[in-house]
């Protein structure tokens, strides 16, 4: 890859993983992310917002990095309500979720459930855009049941001034199985009048180089699980010189410690805390010499003392690993 190539890297929204505690710690210890996206905010049946959603986008909890909050809405009223709530907090850009594949969401005509209904998408954008103050980007899958759906959706999106169209070229039915359809992405890219961002299965520099070679006109890449597994990945892709092994281990320890102590303050009871940290280690374990073993050690912890011993053991293994 050319050494002067400077990609923009976005941290994807991942429900239960990239909350404000995680994002703040990542930005502080690793950085190199141009925009973080929050997991989606949703209007509840009674018209209110969940406390955890409110907390996750409260500006005082999101200092030190650029955040684009994501909304989930299947009608213009919810869309406008969420957009205005976020604009009042000072957010100048928001993102609309047209990708969530889970039946709980799609069944209510939201997330990728809207992809088979391009005219509904148009209706919502026509009604909402004149009434909101923020800029809007859209994050979508290729379709709900068929990859053909995106080809009906792109012309609709072209009629609106979106900051970005972020495409994860899988269909909802696939969830995270199989591979992203890069041929389909290429066709969708050719159809878009709005700037396009690629998303899907960038886990290593090698993945990135291969995909970047195929899509040379793309300059912005959204990464989710790859960054959870390797928080240094964005810096690596930007050609930032990483520190040596010992210093990297210290950075990872400090990152973990900050997340752990923040959740310890925030969550009530050891079991909530440990459940939350197990979720963290589901991805974090991949930095360790034997990820499966490292994760198993953590999963077995029944209390904080056991958890802390498991963490110490894992870091010891990492220090002792041959380079
Ligand atoms: C556990 C999990 C939670 C997710 N939550 C969201 C979400 O709230 N909003 C969203 O747009 N995408 C969500 N996604 C999708 C990711 O943002 C991303 O599009 C997907 O993981 C593909 O990118 P990756 O291969 O780089 O991880 C989620 C994915 C996972 C695995």
Q: Is 223 in the pocket of ligand 1 (CB under 6 A)?
A: yes
Nearest CA to ligand 1 atom 12: 13
Mutate to test the pocket of ligand 1, among 11, 13, 105, 113 (most ligand atoms within 8 A of CB): 13
Nearest CA to ligand 1 atom 6: 14
At 194 the pLDDT is: 98
Q: Is 170 in the pocket of ligand 1 (CB under 6 A)?
A: no
Extract the tokens encoding 30.
């690793």
Cα separation, 78 vs 60, in Å, equals 24
Read off the pTM: 0.97
- Domain ranges for the chain, please list them: 8-237, 245-320
Q: Return the ligand 1 atom nearest residue 199 CA.
A: 23
Q: Is 230 in the pocket of ligand 1 (CB under 6 A)?
A: no
Which fold, 8-237?
TIM Barrel (3.20.20)
Q: Is 224 in the pocket of ligand 1 (CB under 6 A)?
A: yes
Cα separation, 164 vs 166, in Å, equals 6
Assess contact for 98 and 138: CB atoms under 8 A: yes
At 322 the pLDDT is: 74
At 5 the pLDDT is: 81
Extract the tokens encoding 183.
């041929």
Alpha carbon 128 to its chain centroid, in Å, reads 24
Mutate to test the pocket of ligand 1, among 104, 164, 224 (most ligand atoms within 8 A of CB): 224
Q: Is 52 in the pocket of ligand 1 (CB under 6 A)?
A: no
Q: List, in order, residues 6 or more apart from 12 with CB less than 8 Å away.
A: 18, 37, 199, 222, 223, 224, 227
Closest alpha carbon to 123 in 109, 102, 134: 109
At 20 the pLDDT is: 98
Mutate to test the pocket of ligand 1, among 15, 19, 165 (most ligand atoms within 8 A of CB): 15
Divide the 323 residues of the chain into consecutive groups of 10 and give the mean pLDDT of each group: 78 98 98 98 96 97 98 98 98 98 97 98 98 98 98 98 98 96 98 98 98 97 98 97 97 98 96 97 98 98 97 97 77
12 C-alpha vs ligand 1 centroid, how far in Å?
6
Q: List, in order, residues 6 or more apart from 109 with CB less than 8 Å away.
A: 74, 117, 120
């Amino acid at each position: 890859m050319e050494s002067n190539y400077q990609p923009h890297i976005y941290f994807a929204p991942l429900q239960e993983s990239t909350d404000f505690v995680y994002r703040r710690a990542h930005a502080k210890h690793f950085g190199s992310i141009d925009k973080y996206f929050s997991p989606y905010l949703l209007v509840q049946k009674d018209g209110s917002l969940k406390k955890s959603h409110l907390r996750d986008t409260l500006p005082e909890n999101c200092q030190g990095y650029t955040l684009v909050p994501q909304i989930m809405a299947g009608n213009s009223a919810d869309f406008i309500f969420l957009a205005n709530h976020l604009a009042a907090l000072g957010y100048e850009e928001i993102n609309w979720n047209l990708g969530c594949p889970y039946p709980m969401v799609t069944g209510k005509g939201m997330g990728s459930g809207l992809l088979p209904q391009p005219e509904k998408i148009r209706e919502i954008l026509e009604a909402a855009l004149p009434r909101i103050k923020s800029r809007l980007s859209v994050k979508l899958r290729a379709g709900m049941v068929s990859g053909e759906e995106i080809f009906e959706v792109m012309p609709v999106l072209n009629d609106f001034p979106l900051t970005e169209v972020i495409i994860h070229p899988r269909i909802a039915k696939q969830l995270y199985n199989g591979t992203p359809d890069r041929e389909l992405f290429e066709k969708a890219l050719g159809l878009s009048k709005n700037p396009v961002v690629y998303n899907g299965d960038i886990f290593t520099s090698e993945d990135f180089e291969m995909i970047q070679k195929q899509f040379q006109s793309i300059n912005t890449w959204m990464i989710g699980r790859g960054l959870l597994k390797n928080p240094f990945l964005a810096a690596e892709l930007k050609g930032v010189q990483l520190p040596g092994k010992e210093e990297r281990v210290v950075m990872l320890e400090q990152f973990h410690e900050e997340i752990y102590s923040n959740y310890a303050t925030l969550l009530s009871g050891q079991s909530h805390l440990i459940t939350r940290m197990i979720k963290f280690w589901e991805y974090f374990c991949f930095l360790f010499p034997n990820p499966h073993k490292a994760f198993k050690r953590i999963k077995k912890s029944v209390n904080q003392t056991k958890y802390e011993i498991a963490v110490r053991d894992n870091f010891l293994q990492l220090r002792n690993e041959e380079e």
